[in-house]
């Protein structure tokens, strides 16, 4: 079974985030980057599938040094090899441009039986890249996955998805497929010391836009479908209102306000 697991580097959640001068993003040059949390669940799922069914787990990430860093961590966790999409032109990509770039890389690598990604990223959290990636690749897909059973012989997958309101569903998909993995599907392993030392010797190749045959207008900012106009810290508003009257009257007024003004009940 050939599995490719996608990893997005995001600022360490413990970082202090400061908005940049142009207010289009955060100042990210001094930050430490880690793998987006959901992507760790995806990689762990990939490693477990490999342990069960044999095969090859490649990891794929786009970005500068920060991507190399999360790839090395992924190799230390147990991935077999890594592909680093490294090109200054990739900078400024939105989900659409990122998905097209990732898709081209997966095609260049000869495709996969299964592509895994986190359900959403820790920074933007739109949850779109995985689905778009499936579309670019022409693969089947399932989102918010909380359980995976693969049958490599039959080339099918049985996947459990989480729906709203505490309901789950099971769907069957053929290979090749893209799955976006929900938080908490498993307990991601730590890289062991042996894994860390072994990571050095594993393959880590870098591909540029040219290597992928992607023209400049399809990658990075020019390839993006939208533009961030402003990043801001939401204004904190608090309003205090003291409701007078007897307990019964006050309770009635409170219910009324919660229902009509605050619209929370």
Q: Give whichever of 74 and 176 is closer to another protein, judged by the CB atom.
A: 74
Report the residue from 20, 190, 231, 249 that binds another protein according to the rule CB under 8 A.
190
In terms of CB distance, is 167 or 193 closer to another protein? 193
203 lies in the binding site for another protein (CB under 8 A): no
Write out the DSSP string of 46-65. Answer: HHHHHHHH--EEEEEEESSH
Alpha-carbon 200 to chain mean position: 25
The answer to the question of residue 236 lying near another protein (CB under 8 A) is no
If the CB atoms of residues 25 and 190 are measured against another protein, the closer one turns out to be 190
To the nearest whole angstrom, how small is the minimum distance from the Cβ of residue 196 to another protein?
Answer: 5
Least Å distance, CB 156 to another protein, is: 33
**Can you tell me which of 191, 204, 206, 224 binds another protein, judged by CB under 8 A?**
191
Q: Is residue 184 part of the contact set for another protein (CB under 8 A)?
A: no
Span 15-54, contacts to another protein by CB under 8 A: 16
Which DSSP helix (H) or strand (E) runs through 106? helix 95-108
Please list, in sequence order, all residues whose beta carbon lies within 8 angstroms of the beta carbon of residue 228, skipping any fewer than 6 positions away: 24, 25
Nearer to another protein, 38 or 132 (CB): 38
Q: Does 210 bind another protein (CB under 8 A)?
A: no
Give the neighbor-by-neighbor strand order of the sheet with 177-181.
168-174, 156-162, 140-151, 177-181, 114-118, 2-6, 56-62, 81-85, 203-207
Q: Which residues pair with 242 in a beta bridge?
A: none
- Residue environment code for 58-93, b if the CB has 16+ CB neighbours within 10 A, otherwise e: bbbbbbeebbbbbbbbbbbbbbebbbbbbbebbebb
Q: Is the peptide bond before 176 cis (omega within 30 degrees of 0)?
A: yes
Which of residues 72 and 104 has its CB atom nearest to another protein in the complex? 72
Min CB(78)–another protein separation in Å: 13
| Contacts with another protein, 59-88, as mask; x by CB under 8 A | ----------x--xx--x------------
∠ CA 52-54-59, nearest 5°, is 100
Interface with another protein: number of residues (CB under 8 A): 14
The DSSP symbol for 242 reads -
Contacts with another protein, residue ranges (CB under 8 A): 16, 69, 72-73, 76, 190-194, 196-197, 199-200
């Amino acid at each position: 079974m050939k599995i490719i697991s996608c990893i997005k580097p995001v600022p360490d959640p413990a970082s202090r985030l400061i908005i940049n001068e142009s207010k289009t993003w955060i100042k990210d040059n001094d930050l430490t980057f880690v793998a987006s949390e959901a992507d760790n669940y995806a990689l762990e799922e990939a490693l477990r599938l490999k342990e069960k069914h044999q095969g090859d787990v490649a990891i794929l990430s786009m970005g500068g040094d920060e991507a190399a860093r999360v790839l090395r961590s992924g190799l230390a966790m147990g991935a077999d090899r890594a592909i680093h999409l490294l090109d200054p032109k990739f900078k400024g990509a939105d989900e659409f441009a990122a998905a097209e770039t990732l898709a081209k890389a997966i095609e260049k690598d000869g495709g996969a039986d299964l592509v895994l990604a986190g359900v959403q990223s820790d920074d933007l959290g739109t949850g779109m890249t995985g689905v778009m990636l499936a579309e670019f690749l022409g693969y089947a897909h399932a989102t918010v996955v909380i359980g995976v059973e693969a049958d490599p012989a039959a080339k099918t997958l049985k996947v459990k998805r989480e729906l709203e309101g505490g309901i789950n569903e099971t769907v069957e998909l053929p290979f090749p497929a893209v799955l976006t993995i929900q938080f908490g599907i498993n307990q991601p392993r730590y890289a062991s010391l042996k894994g860390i030392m072994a990571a050095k010797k594993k393959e880590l190749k870098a591909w540029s836009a040219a290597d992928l045959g992607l023209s400049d207008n399809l990658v990075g900012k020019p390839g993006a479908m939208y533009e961030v106009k402003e990043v801001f810290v939401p204004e904190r508003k608090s309003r205090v209102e003291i409701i007078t009257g007897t307990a019964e009257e006050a309770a009635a007024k409170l219910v009324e306000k919660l229902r009509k003004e605050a619209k929370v009940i």
